[in-house]
Chains A and B, each alone.
Chain A
Amino acid sequence: MLLNIKNLTVAIEGKEIIKGLNLQVNKGEVHAIMGPNGTGKSTLAAAITGREGYEVTEGEIWYKDQNIVELEPDERANLGIFLSFQYPVEIPGVSMTNFMRTAINAQREYNGLPPMPAGEFLKLMEEKKKLVDIHSKLTNRSVNEGFSGGEKKKNEIFQMALLQPTLAILDETDSGLDIDALRTVAKGVNELRSNENAFVVITHYQRLLEYIVPDFVHVMYDGKIVKSGSKNLALELEDKGYEWLKEQSLV
């Protein structure tokens, strides 16, 4: 099993947001996590990636046979966990090229490899740019600075393609995307799917799941997964809304 979350409780500034959550993800699988606003979907992503301020008060997060709860965020990243941010951050003055080269070499250093030669890196960039339809100009600009909403999201998938994570979490990657950008992003993700990696796709809407077809759909409500099922569950949600689940979870 790649990811095994056991009875996870997460608090922000003392307030419990996730309340005893369980989730298992195997290699080769795509899991969708759905649910209304404020149920803890993004908090789950933050807890897995180790963001400061998201305190795991109970439970364990097992990834590749180790409990990663105590690991620093950069170490988790170097172990192959990637987060596609809902709100990608701007870093003025740092070019995308420089940023990604630093990231790739950090990963290589962690794995005991020498830095990637410049030529090889540039070739890799060119190759991955095509995957998400990114303009050459974009990689010369500062990280996310002046990028449109769609460009930012494409840029996240571009970074994912370069870093080749084992576990990728896409946090609301579809929000703010028009249909063309959505297709491009989905195409990128689908091309990266393999038997050696897994995806956790966090989304509000069923729409994204038409393009990135999940193996499992989980519904979160009030800090817990209240229902799991196949991709049909997403359709059912689209149809009925979330209200019926609320009633169910109260029972």
Chain B
Amino acid sequence: MSDQTNNNILDEVTKGEYKFGFYTDIENDLAPRGLTEDTIRFISAKKEEPEWMLDFRLKAFRHWQSLEEPEWAHLHHPPIDFQDIIYFAAPKKKPQLNSLDEVDPELLETFDKLGISLDEQKRLAGVAVDAVIDSVSVKTTFQDTLAKHGIIFCSFSEAVKNHPELVKKYMGTVVPYTDNYYAALNSAVFSDGSFCFIPKGVRSPLELSTYFRINAANTGQFERTLIVAEEGGYVSYMEGCTAPMRDENQLHAAIVEIIAMDDAEVKYSTVQNWYPGDKEGKGGVYNFVTKRGLCKGHRSKISWTQVETGSSITWKYPSCVLMGDNSIGEFYSVAVTNNFQQADTGTKMIHLGKNTRSTIISKGISAGKSNNSYRGLVKIMPGAINSRNFSQCDSLLLGDKCGAHTFPYIDTRNQSSIVEHEATTSKISEDQLFYCNQRGIDTEKAIGLIVNGYAKEVLNKLPMEFAVEAQKLLSITLEGSVG
């Protein structure tokens, strides 16, 4: 079948809508628009932070001022006016919450709409939730249950207040504020996020999860997550995010730091569904995120699994620094772009310790006029003897107006290590679509089925509850613009 016919079929496929695009009318406490040292003092004061926290922010801010926005990514967007953003927005009714009954009903409704229940049901499903709306964490569930095991799971602000020694010890050790432009920005203005500490020998009995929601207009969201697993600790952590549909672009610049000590394991799963902009490419979230895990201990393991369906721009490279001997880093990614979305995503695996192993499985799916790039670095240092990496980067193209790009960087500095890289590019064939059609499955469903099949290897890595959500999201994202 000719490409032309193929494209016609794909062109016709559906008109999808972003279903989380609603806006909730919640009274907000806003910082004045723009970014100066005063803004930072304002945020810090609002959060009643100790002096050392403010110092950290100011240092980061001064460093940020000396930097320029990076341009190396395969992304195009008009310059961001960092003075036109509101850096802090908090729902006004933010009391000390003792029970769910005290949560603003509007907020609860918001989370209900998102399909996130903060109530007992989640516990039955074995999930504890921290819900972050705009700049603050509104509710963390099941802290008591977790506390019995010595696990700390709370908002970042609470951690600064209640566990300053832990925050001081670990914050910025994996992603220093000098790391990059957006990391510096985040370090200066971050508002909230989640903090998780798994003590020695404890396996978390619950899946932990954070839901991020940008709600207020013209605001940026800058959250920070810090996860520490001590010797032999284990936790599976999930992150989900959505935003209202707005014509203007919104900025999201987050930092996630993970530290795993000897024999500890952290699984971090993300379903990223920020508003991607409309079919003409108007609006959408600019998602500039620095995520990095440090396998500090021997035999430690960190795995990143991400399903990226949202944002108009995604700039994100969840990475692992394999410092401990025999430590393991994994990166499983499905990135879908549609319409005018752009994604430049991938990972870095830095091998320092002996016998370290890393696996990279990346599945890119591009549709519409979107651009999807995999960018990855595998670096094996001289001391990382007998290390191994396996990378597989597959691209699936839907239509002929989209782009798929792969930028693998490999840097091996010893003779005993083995690095493998495989890459494929494919299209959904007209034969496959007709085969499905002939069994009564319409083209839209057929694409969903085929794409989910293509991404299965990665979806299988997600916790059960997330996998179902992710599968639906993949289909929804490709509605409307497979052309």
Contacts and interface: CB of A to CB of B under 8 A. Distances in A.
Interface of A: 13, 49-53, 72-74, 77-78, 82-83, 85, 88-94, 98-100, 102-103, 106-107, 110, 142, 159, 163
A52 B449 contact: no
A34 B439 CA distance: 25
B2 interface: yes
Contact of A159 (B1, B9, B439, B443): B439
B115 interface: no
Interface footprint category on B: 20 to 34
Contacts of A110: 440
A100 B436 CA distance: 10
A133 B49 CA distance: 71
B472 to A, nearest CB: 14
B443 A74 contact: yes
A53 B5 CA distance: 7
30 contacts: A49-B438, A52-B8, A53-B2, A73-B434, A73-B437, A73-B438, A74-B438, A74-B441, A77-B437, A77-B438, A77-B439, A78-B440, A82-B438, A83-B438, A85-B435, A89-B435, A90-B432, A91-B435, A91-B449, A93-B454, A94-B449, A94-B453, A100-B439, A102-B441, A102-B445, A103-B439, A106-B440, A106-B441, A163-B439, A163-B440
B5 A52 contact: yes
B116 interface: no
A94 B445 contact: no
B432 A89 contact: yes
A63 to B, nearest CB: 15
A74 B442 contact: yes
A46 B461 CA distance: 40
Main SS at interface, chain B = helix
B432 A93 contact: no
Interface string B417-444: 0000000000001111011111111110
Contacts of A99: 436, 439, 449
A82 B435 CA distance: 11
A103 B432 CA distance: 14
B381 interface: no
Given A13-B2, A52-B1, A107 B440 contact: yes
A107 B438 CA distance: 11
Given A102-B441, A159-B439, A163-B440, A52 B9 contact: yes
A162 to B, nearest CB: 9
Nearest to A49: B438
Contacts of A91: 432, 435-436, 449-450, 453
Contacts of B457: 93
B159 interface: no
